Amino acid sequence: MPATTAVKSFGNYINGEWVEEEKVFSSINPADRSDIVGQFQSSSEETAKKALDAARDAFRSWSNTSPSKRAAILTKAADLLDSRSKQIAEEITREVGKPIGASLNEVKRSAETLRYYAIEGVSYTGETFPNDDPNLRVYTVKEPLGVISVITPWNFPLSIPARKIAPALITGNTVVFKPSSDSPLVGFRMAEALHEAGLPKGVLNFVTGSSKAIGDILVTHPAVRGVTFTGSTGAGEQIHRSVSLTTRTQMELGGKNPLIVMEDADLDEAVNLTINGGFGLSGQACTGTSRVIVIKRVKEQFTNRLVQRTKELTVADGFTKGVFMGPLANERQLKNVLDYIKIGKSEGAELLCGGEHLTGTGYDDGYFVNPAVFTNVKPGMRIEQEEIFGPVICLIEAENYEEAVSIANNVEYGLSAAIVTNQVHYIERFLKEAEAGTVKSNRTTTGNLMNAPFGGIKKSSTSTFRESGRVGLEFFTQTKTVYYGH
């Protein structure tokens, strides 16, 4: 772990200036609660209003700025992130606990996302429509919405903001960005890079603080034309109900993602996919593998291999060499996971390994838990239905493909789903029949390309506008149809 220095205070960024409040809160290292990563502003509603007003006032000028100038700023910000990748990666690991290799990958991915939208944005345009009038030209133009509130979680504290802020800015919108209070420093680094890249004042505004204090104004202020949010389904539903008729929402919410293991699957590969999808990032990914539905004929073999591999995983501080899994992000997450371990046992599921709150040297000051595997999980159990958002895998037995896909679909979420098989007919059926926004064969439920659409169905999303890829620009624009006659 890098050496720490005196605790530093980081300001809000409003109308091109770094400003501070009277009250602050601390960001804590989840692997070592004695390590205070930084102090951040406990913003008031009045401060959030100032940020929104600044974004509204900057909109006209920014929307008239040429796409090439906007793209140049995004590209320069990407270069700044790359040049600071080691520092920012260490800060990600200190702030949210993920292994340093994953943190480095996140910085790289975020810089690539800024560059991707810098390129896509300059070619994003409308259509021209043939008509019978030789003196009439009919076409559409894509116009920015206005002020966008960007509200992001802690599990991907740089890459999720990047995939929301970049398309918002390149299409001419202005932004008020509120990161999670568990990862404000990483959000600060994104705002800092865009500021140093030459973003005009008011175009991006950065505010920290509790959702209780400033969350409502960020979605109900009259200037807000769009809210893009990633987080829990409960919070997303509340935002969706709160906005005005003319305010768009883009919600990426919870998941209870299944992986089906068929009788012909390569079981070692299936175990790898389960481990990486279910325990990577300590199970704290919305697309994480939560349910593994295994055909009865191979369940015992698969289970034995999975338990053996799970027991071999290294759980430690994210800076530890060879670590697979770091701590949970905060005390609330730890309590939630431990509560679900108790719930699973009380429901009659059998805990095969893990689920303990780790203590002792290297663990006492952090939120560490051993990855858990439950078997004899029945459809309808709470641990099978509810999002745990931690390193807990539920093994469910199925007689055949039909029963497996029925179990997979029988939840209120529909974010990601995968199948492990070598049979083409199983793959083709599953890709059609799985009720999820992302479906995969012989891959983990986690991970998505930056140039491909991402989003869920059912209660995993508002099912309106997808994130990522070229279609990720659509949420931030409205279509105007022009009839140009002469």
Arithmetic mean of pLDDT, 120-131: 95
Say what the pLDDT of residue 58 is.
98
What is the strand order of the sheet 174-178 is part of? Answer: 17-19, 12-14, 204-206, 174-178, 147-151, 224-230, 248-252
DSSP 200: P
CA distances from 110 to 48, 309, 472 (A): 26, 31, 15
Question: Residue 250: CB partners within 8 Å, gap ≥ 6?
Answer: 226, 227, 228, 229, 462, 464, 465, 467, 475
pLDDT tens track for 327-362 = 999 999 999 999 999 999 999 999 999 999 999 999
Q: Is 286 an active-site residue?
A: yes
With 80 as the cut, is the pLDDT of residue 3 above it? no
Q: Catalytic: which of 21, 252, 387, 467? A: 252
Task: Please give the structure tokens belonging to residue 204.
Answer: 């991006």
With 70 as the cut, is the pLDDT of residue 114 above it? yes
Task: Please give the structure tokens belonging to residue 32.
Answer: 């070592």
With 70 as the cut, is the pLDDT of residue 5 above it? no
With 60 as the cut, is the pLDDT of residue 140 above it? yes
Say what the pLDDT of residue 2 is.
56
Tell me the C-alpha distance between 26 and 223, whole Å.
30
For the chain, how long is the longest CA-to-CA vector?
81
Proportion of the chain above pLDDT 70, given as a percent: 99
With 60 as the cut, is the pLDDT of residue 4 above it? no
Helix (H) or strand (E) holding 139: strand 136-144
Tell me the C-alpha distance between 36 and 44, whole Å.
22
- pLDDT category of residue 441 using cuts at 50, 70 and 90: very high
- pLDDT category of residue 464 using cuts at 50, 70 and 90: confident
With 60 as the cut, is the pLDDT of residue 1 above it? no
Helix (H) or strand (E) holding 25: strand 24-29
Question: Residue 212: CB partners within 8 Å, gap ≥ 6?
Answer: none
Answer whether 278's CB lies under 8 Å from 291's CB.
Answer: no
- For tokens 């999975």, what's the residue? 306
Say what the pLDDT of residue 6 is.
77
User: Mean pLDDT for the chain?
Assistant: 96
Arithmetic mean of pLDDT, 139-164: 97
Answer whether 171's CB lies under 8 Å from 473's CB.
Answer: yes
Q: Catalytic: which of 90, 286, 394, 474? A: 286
Residue 282: name the closest of 138, 147, 390 by CA.
390
Per the document, the length of the chain is: 486
Q: Is 353 an active-site residue?
A: no
Sign, Cα dihedral of 126, 128, 129, 135: positive
- pLDDT category of residue 220 using cuts at 50, 70 and 90: very high
Say what the pLDDT of residue 463 is.
82
